[in-house]
Amino acid sequence: MDISINNRFNKLEFLKGQFLSEKLRSRLLAMLIFFIVARYQTMSLHYLVYKGSMVMTGVLAGILILDSISKYKPIHYIIFGLFAVQMLIIKNPNLLYVYFLSLAFIDCDMFYVIKVYMVSNVIFFAIYMTMNITGLRETEFVKGRNDFGYGNPNSAFIAMFTIWISYLYCKFDDLELIDIVILLFFALLMYKQTNTRTGLITVVAVTAIIPFVKFLRIDNKFMKISITSIPILISLLSLVIAFVFKENSFLNDVLSSRPLYWNRYLTHPVNGLTLFGHPSDVKEYLFVPKLPFDSGYLTLMYTFGIFGFVIFIGLYSYTIYKLCSENRKRDIIFIIAIQIYAFAESMFTDIATNLAIVLIVTAMSSISLGRSCERRKKCKKV
């Protein structure tokens, strides 16, 4: 009888979570970050490694989520349910997958996460550089642009950028002139090889705004609203360019024909912009030859529809507002950098290239649906 009671009690304790020690949880979190990076970095390297990394991210995230089960609020389950319904409608699990992985990072030490993220990206970047130099993976891109074996020069610069922004994050509080020089030097060196204007413009823009973010208070009302509105403003700008300036020769030249491509996706007579989005392989059979989308915001809107876009951007903007309220400057500069880059690169909803997504889950914890319901009841009584 006693053994049976103890077993039931242990099962109940397991359902409450927190069965992992802090040391083991940190190690599993580090492994999860490594495999998140591996899934992205090996996409063009080896199919089995890519698939294996994806499976490992799911398993590790599942364990960490079970351990943190008591920390989630009703809003976390509601968003999960909404993304699950959307997945069933459009047969595209990517947004649900990203959200599922981000749940594993609730209440995590972001500094620790970024350090592991940086080291993981350095490992894979070094592997690609070595394979490219030794001829195991030769540059495939033409017109004198080096892709370092990534298959695309833009992908190579993004791989470097993940290291660049991670280093900036870790050094932000103690940033010195020599750090700025090092960061700009490697960005310029990478640009000379890849000729990726989007990456260089992002690096220069972020470097320019560092002094403003570093020395100004970002928790006042004006700054909070200004920074929070960035993803919404960039989204609106992207839509205006796609619909109004689609044939503007200057913008198409500067943005490598992106306005024209954006318009073709969004206005397609059969598979254009919709409420819920499209299957994950829509670009494979719809556009021949394949047209690059290269816009994080419009890719989000097109692939996951207006429904997914509104939820994601809403949560993302709320997270930015919370970070500003807490005056967390290193997190804000990290997010701003990704937002600028995502204007002309499809990297917004991939957790491997936008690790700021993991901050959304913690920010959501401050949304209490129960309190709002109680307030409504009190108002009715009055």
pLDDT tens figures, 258-308: 999 999 999 998 889 999 999 988 876 666 556 778 899 999 999 999 999
CA dist., res. 162 & res. 187, Å (int): 11
CA 270 from chain center: how many Å?
A: 29
Q: At which residue do the structure tokens 């995590």 appear?
A: 108
CB atoms within 10 A of CB 74: 11
Rg of the chain over all Cα atoms, to the nearest angstrom: 22
Least trusted range by pLDDT, from 25-34, 81-90, 297-306, 363-372:
363-372
Query: Is residue 50 within 8 Å of 84, Cβ to Cβ?
Result: no
CA dist., res. 144 & res. 166, Å (int): 29
- Cβ within 8 Å of residue 189, ≥6 positions away: none
Using left for φ > 0, alpha for ψ between -120 and 50, and beta otherwise, residue 277 falls in left
CA dist., res. 126 & res. 133, Å (int): 10
Least trusted range by pLDDT, from 15-29, 59-73, 155-169, 171-185:
15-29
DSSP-based three-state secondary structure for 174: helix
> What pLDDT was estimated at residue 2?
44
> What pLDDT was estimated at residue 369?
74
- For helices 258-266 and 296-325, the axis angle rounded to 10 degrees is 100
Is the model's pLDDT at 47 over the cut of 90?
A: no
> What pLDDT was estimated at residue 290?
63
In 100-180, the DSSP E strands lie at: none
Distance, first Cα to last Cα, the chain: 52
Tokens of 353: 């290239």
Statement: the pTM of the whole predicted model exceeds 0.85: yes
CA dist., res. 335 & res. 350, Å (int): 14
